[in-house]
Structure 1
Amino acid sequence: MDDLPHPESASAPPPKSRTSPAKRPRAGIVAQPPDDETVALAAALSPNIRLGTSSWGYPGWQGLVWVGRHGESNLSRQALSVYAQHPLFRAVSIDRGFYQRLTASQYERYAQQVPADFRFTIKAPSLVTDALVRSEDGRGRQTNEAFLDPRLAIQEFIEPVLQGLGEKAGALVFQLSPLPLQMLDRMPAQLDRLHALLGALPSLRERSPDAVVAVEVRDPEWLTPDFVAILKQHGARYCLGLHPKLPPIDHQLPLLRAMWPGPLVCRWNLHRLHGPFGYEDAQKRYGEYDTLMDPDPDTRAVLAKVIHATAQAGHAAYVTVSNHAEGSAPRSVKALAQALVDEAQAAAAAAPSQEA
């Protein structure tokens, strides 16, 4: 694509089929047999591409991911192994750890439910990523003295993830919540905090070779050359956040170019039509999360170009999609997979004319 480098395609064997006969966990949840189109899309994707959803326990996904109706609580506890049988799902985002830290044994239970080639995107707890201590309604009550504390980040996030998930850890994401105005006015100090945090983190390679640290933000004030320099210095990645609080994806491409080359981490969180504070509106509108109510083909097409360029360069692409992106995360993932296949075909067709 014009907005990213075009390295030569690295030859790679086609991915093995990830389909298998439906298995019945003790909860009685059975995988929805994939249709031929889904199987073909999965087989056509580069093994470097890991698509998935934000969490998995949604009753409305019946007929998309599993057979029949199941309660949300039952699904959240028991359905991960069924989710991981879906041919297109080679990753998932564990979001609950943002609200309450998870233990190594909890992460280990997740790891035991998925195949060896599956990878997790994991959000760091808000204990270290939110500058404010918040009430249950989300309002900031007081300054969080533990914000970006390196010791707590390692103790409460990095170590439990590595101990529990091991080689199945993918993207370890520090999602930095919106800063209060007095901190936005002092961004050099916040960049110093981030620099200290990233510099203190241990290397992930020996314990989880595919794992990367990524930083996602909610304030565009972070998106500066100094921010990029800090990430590059410490080998961290920018998490491409598709959220109305940030510029649209095409406006974030210069930052991705500045970070090139390397793995891609992306979280498609919320459709722009809902605005920066639109989660409640999205929840009400999308209901069961079984329909693409607000398709966003423009975002999907640009994202497909970025993913394709990353995979062609031989780097991993960890991309997870929320129900709030278009209305139904499983359907969004399938549509994105189709966009990726289309992009690959278009690139292959254009290659001879470029050489000429």
Structure 2
Amino acid sequence: MAISPLIRFGTSTWTYEGWKGQVYQKNYTKTAFARDCLGEYCQYLHNGKPCFRTVGNDSTFYRPPTANQLRHYLTQIPEDFEMCFKVWEEITIPFFANHPRYGAKAGRPNPRFLDAALFNDLVLTPFREAQFEPHAGPFLFEFQQHGLPGHEFCKKLDRFFSHLPQDFRYAVEIRNAGLLSPDYRKVLESYGVAHVYNHWSYMPPLAEQHRRMEQFTAPFTILRLLTPLNMPYETAKKRAAPYNKIVKELPEMRRDTVSLIKQAVAENRRAYVLANNRSEGNAPLTVQALLQAFI
């Protein structure tokens, strides 16, 4: 049975040495692997058909992509392929953590938090210059745990999305479970923005997130399968390395994922599923297991 074209499976990112011999069969130099393996990722088959029709790009959390980077991706991806980009953290962090990589900004409020002009100028402009729009999946705004009150966060989010162009799609991933509220849902609904159902250490299960949201908020939905629940990121990372096998299945995560996808498709919504190695140990095998549930 053919899987609905509304469903796109992929992984959180694609440059993992542990997938050599599995996804990657070519010989690459270390530099060439990171630069050129995307094309082979897109060609990876499961039961004779392309396994991945999307992929996440986590690197853009640390810096926006350039037009040249985007043009290089275009030389590797097929016509019917979409990439979901994380949005630059300069826009999604209200306060900079006390971390060396932030330099003098460490520990200070971020004056560019949810700056719509900055997002338009520095994030979206390269996509227009590279003519990447047909291959741009929803932009992922990842808001890590923060101390902003829910009403203040929702107010800022509302103002931000009111200034964004409508020719791109957007999705919000929160890490504060307390923000799953009617106010949050209403802001997303107002602008056709999706809630990212994230299977992450300290968020509720996927089904519980949907119960609190009550309904999908956009013509599409996104699920990111990141880490086991109640497990710190570093523990999940150590447990999963070197990412070449399933270390432990997460049955509830798989069931909830399939259920949410089926509900979205029944409502004629697109569904994007991005699996991370740190959830079960090997993201391609997690994707294959989910694909089997639709056959």
Give the alignment's TM-score, normalised by structure 2.
Answer: 0.90
Note if 1:291 corresponds to 2:291: no
Contact 2:193 2:218 in 1 (8 A): no
Match of 2:43, SS?
Answer: coil
1:314 matched to 2:280? The reply is: no
The partner residue of 2:135 within 161, 168, 172 is 168
Looking at structure 2, the residues matched to 273 and 331 of structure 1 have their Cα atoms a distance apart, in angstroms, of 22
Equivalent residue letter for 1:171: P
Mapped pair 1:243 → 2:200:
yes
Q: CA deviation at 1:314?
A: 2.4
Cα distance in 2 for residues equivalent to 1:168 and 1:227: 28
1:335 to 2:293 alignment = no
Matched, 1:267 2:234: no
* Cα contact 2:244–2:282 (8 A) shared by 1: yes
- Cα offset, 1:70, TM superposition: 4.8
Change in 2 beyond 3 A, CA 1:71/1:246: farther
Structure 1 letter corresponding to 2:175:
R
- 1:145 aligned residue (93, 111, 124): 111
Counterpart among 90, 115, 136 of residue 127 in structure 1: 90
Q: Which amino acid aligns with 1:155?
A: D
In the alignment, which residue of structure 2 is the partner of 1:220?
177
Pair 218,120 (structure 1): closer, same or farther in 2 beyond 3 Å = same
1:242 Cα shift? 1.2
CA contact (8 A) 1:53 1:93 kept: yes
Residues in 2 aligned to 1:268 and 1:213: alpha-carbon distance in whole angstroms = 18
1:58-77 superposed matches below 5 A: 58-67=16-25, 70=28, 73-77=31-35
Maintained 8 Å contact 1:59/1:69: no
Residues 80-99 of structure 1 mapped to structure 2, 5 A cutoff: 80-86=38-44, 87-99=50-62
**How far did 1:261 drift?**
6.4
1:94, 1:122 within 8 Å by CA — same for their partners in 2? yes
1:229 and 2:186 correspond: yes
Deviation at 1:110, TM superposition (A): 1.2
Q: Please report how far the alpha carbon of residue 197 of structure 1 lies from its aligned counterpart in structure 2 after TM superposition.
A: 0.6
Compare 306-315 and 121-130 and name the one that shifted more.
Answer: 306-315
Task: Measure how far apart 1:308 and its partner are.
Answer: 1.8
Larger Rg: 1
Check the 8 A contact 1:88/1:334 in 2, yes or no: yes
Which one-letter code corresponds to 1:98 in the other structure?
A: F
How has the CA–CA distance of structure 1 residues 309 and 178 changed in structure 2, closer, same or farther, with 3 Å as cutoff? same
Say whether the 8 Å CA contact 2:245–2:285 is kept in structure 1. Answer: yes
Aligned-partner Cα distance in 2 for 1:110–1:169: 11
Q: CA deviation at 1:112?
A: 2.4
Of residues 158, 174, 191, the one that matches 1:195 is 158
Aligned residues of 2:196 and 2:221 also touching (Cα < 8 A): yes
Cα distance, 1:255 vs. partner? 4.0
Report how far residue 273 of structure 1 moved: 4.8
User: Given the alignment of the two structures, is residue 113 of structure 1 paired with residue 65 of structure 2, yes or no?
Assistant: no
Contact 1:52 1:319 in 2 (8 A): yes
Q: Matches of 2:233 and 2:28 in 1, distance apart?
A: 24
Amino acid at match of 2:190: Q
SS in 2 for 1:239: strand
Taking the aligned partners of 2:72 and 2:135, their CA distance within structure 1 comes to 12
State TM-score, norm by structure 1.
Answer: 0.75
Tell whether the 8 Å contact from 2:11 to 2:275 is kept in structure 1 after alignment: yes
Give the deviation of 1:161 after TM superposition: 3.2
Matched letter for residue 125 of structure 2: E
Residue 325 (structure 1) aligned with residue 284 (structure 2): no
Total equivalences in the alignment: 286
Note closer, same or farther for the CA distance 1:136–1:270 as it changes in structure 2 (3 Å cut). Answer: farther
SS in 1 for 2:260: helix
SS of the residue aligned with 2:291?
A: helix
Give unmatched runs, 5+ long, in structure 1: 1-42, 205-210, 342-356
RMSD (Å) for aligned C-alpha atoms: 2.0
Pairing 1:304–2:267 present? no
Of 156, 164, 178 in structure 1, the residue corresponding to residue 122 of structure 2 is 156
Q: CA deviation at 1:143?
A: 0.8
Cα deviation code 1:247-289 (max 9, x no counterpart): 1112112245323562111111111252xxx222222222220
